[in-house]
């Protein structure tokens, strides 16, 4: 329903939303090993922080390897992996940058879940609409020239979409993620806040009237008592506002009294989780490359050169083995091809026979240029062996006698003194 212009504008808005969703960095947050209930709760809270550009209901089995997850992440446009694991010494957090690294390993020294932070607040502001838009990332004290500090800042920046300060809609900024670095202790503090914008320059009673929830006036005789201070208000509303959080709004914001060019105060309420991290090491690739930085065991120049030399030697050995395997595979393939060609050539020379036989040589048949023995040859052999003339009734000179085939060899049994086949003399029996 609606006019043609409204339908066209809605279609354009959906197209812009899909384009922005596809270009934004996406992430997977999942545990590995035997995490325990505390780590699982922390995984859910971190997924809540990274919404909407993360997989809220991602399920990873123990049988799923990192290679499987990388293969799945490619078509989905996932650029970050946040992996939590539990060891005997504590909880570790690994941040993988896809597809080629690097990998940052942190040790979680302290953490507080969302339920712990919210339970400590007297009044919290956390609702579902806050998680429809990504949070605003604020980095503190990352201006040091150290390479690993700059790399850490870049990894956190890659988790959230970039904002154009000239075109951003202030109503879409409902949350804030603060990551601060302490150069002395070399620790990182991770905080998650809810953002609220309230007008300033108004009395507390007037601010109460401008709020969505109307104050309780059951003890007041007139509404003017609210403005003159006759009605006692909650002490939690007495939040100090100063130059550090008061600004002039460049556009209208959600909330009564937050108009353009008006003075408003930005207030932050922590909604959790809370993390204290220590950078352990920085690796090339996806957790299997060269260690670029190690916070617990820093290495000198000589050790780094030795590590690089050993790695280069391993890479050369691996390349040599791969080359040898490829040569062996090619040699075996050529052997199979030559054997196949010889087999086909032999089958072509033999050709099909008239009676359907395969043309294979029968070991019982005489070879080329070899004639089958005649009766005269057998009679002459009889004379030489026995010294007398053979009897014509025994098959000489007429019938060739009885022929049998033993193992494919034809044998004449025409005389009592022995037997002879077409392959030579087999014996004489008396």
Output the pLDDT for position 204: 64
pLDDT at 367 over 80: no
* Helix, coil or strand: residue 266: strand
Q: How does residue 9 score in pLDDT terms, banded at 50, 70 and 90?
A: confident
Residue with the larger pLDDT of the pair 413 and 324: 324
Instruction: Give one DSSP letter per residue of 278-336, joined into a string.
Output: EEEEEESTTTTS-EEEESSS---HHHHHHHHHHHHHHHHHHHHHHHHHHHHHHHHHHHH
Q: What is the mean pLDDT of the chain?
A: 79
Separation of alpha carbons 69 and 78, rounded Å:
10
Element (H, E) at 29: strand 26-32
Output the pLDDT for position 400: 47
| 412-416-419 Cα angle (round to 5) | 35
Q: How does residue 185 score in pLDDT terms, banded at 50, 70 and 90?
A: very high
pLDDT tens readout for residues 144-164:
888 899 999 999 999 999 888
Separation of alpha carbons 203 and 254, rounded Å:
20
pLDDT tens readout for residues 220-232:
677 666 556 554 4
pLDDT at 388 over 60: yes
Cβ(58)–Cβ(28) under 8 Å? Answer: yes
pLDDT tens readout for residues 280-297:
999 988 887 778 888 877
Output the pLDDT for position 235: 39
Of residues 272, 274, 286, the one with CA closest to residue 95 = 286
Output the pLDDT for position 170: 86
Question: What is the CATH superfamily name and number for domain 4-217+243-294?
Answer: Brix domain (3.40.50.10480)
Output the pLDDT for position 191: 95
Output the pLDDT for position 205: 61
Q: How does residue 84 score in pLDDT terms, banded at 50, 70 and 90?
A: very high
Residue 139: how many other CB atoms lie within 10 Å: 15
pLDDT at 397 over 50: no
Output the pLDDT for position 120: 86
Q: How does residue 238 score in pLDDT terms, banded at 50, 70 and 90?
A: very low
Cβ(276)–Cβ(109) under 8 Å? Answer: yes
């Amino acid at each position: 329903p609606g006019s043609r212009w409204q339908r066209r504008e809605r279609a354009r808005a959906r197209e812009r939303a899909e384009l922005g969703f596809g270009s934004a960095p996406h992430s997977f947050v999942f545990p590995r090993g035997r995490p325990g209930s505390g780590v699982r709760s922390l995984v859910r809270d971190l997924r809540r922080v990274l919404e909407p550009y993360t997989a809220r209901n991602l399920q990873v089995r123990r049988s799923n390897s990192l290679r499987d997850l990388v293969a799945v992440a490619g078509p989905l446009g996932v650029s970050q992996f946040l992996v939590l694991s539990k060891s005997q010494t504590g909880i570790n957090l690994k941040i993988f940058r896809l597809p080629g690294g690097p990998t940052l390993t942190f040790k979680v020294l302290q953490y507080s879940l969302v339920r712990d932070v919210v339970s400590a607040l007297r009044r919290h502001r956390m609702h579902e609409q806050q998680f429809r838009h990504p949070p605003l990332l604020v980095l503190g004290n990352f201006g040091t020239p150290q390479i690993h500090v700059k790399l850490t800042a870049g990894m956190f920046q890659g988790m959230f979409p970039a904002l154009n300060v000239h075109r951003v809609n202030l109503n879409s900024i409902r949350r804030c993620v603060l990551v601060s670095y302490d150069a002395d202790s070399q620790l990182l503090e991770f905080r998650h806040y809810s953002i609220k914008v309230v007008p300033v320059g108004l009395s507390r009673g007037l601010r109460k009237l401008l709020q969505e929830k109307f104050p309780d006036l059951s003890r007041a005789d007139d509404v003017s008592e609210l403005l003159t201070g006759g009605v006692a208000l909650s002490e939690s509303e007495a939040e100090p506002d100063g130059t550090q959080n008061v600004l002039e709004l460049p556009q209208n914001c959600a909330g009564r009294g937050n108009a353009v060019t008006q003075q408003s105060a930005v207030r932050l309420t922590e909604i959790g989780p809370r993390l204290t991290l220590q950078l352990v090491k920085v690796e090339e690739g996806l957790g299997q490359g060269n260690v670029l930085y190690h916070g617990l065991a820093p290495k000198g120049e000589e050790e780094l050169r030795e590590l690089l030399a050993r790695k280069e030697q391993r890479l050369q050995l691996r390349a040599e083995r791969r080359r040898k395997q490829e040569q062996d595979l090619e040699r075996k393939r050529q052997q199979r091809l030559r054997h196949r060609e010889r087999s086909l050539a032999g089958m072509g020379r033999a050709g099909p026979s008239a009676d359907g036989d395969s043309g294979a040589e029968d070991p019982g048949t005489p070879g080329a240029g070899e004639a089958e023995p005649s009766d005269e040859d057998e009679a002459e052999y009889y004379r030489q062996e026995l010294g007398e003339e053979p009897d014509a009734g025994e098959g000489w000179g007429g019938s060739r006698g009885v022929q049998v085939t033993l193992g494919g060899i034809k044998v004449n049994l025409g005389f009592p003194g022995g037997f002879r086949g077409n392959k030579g003399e087999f014996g004489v029996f008396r």
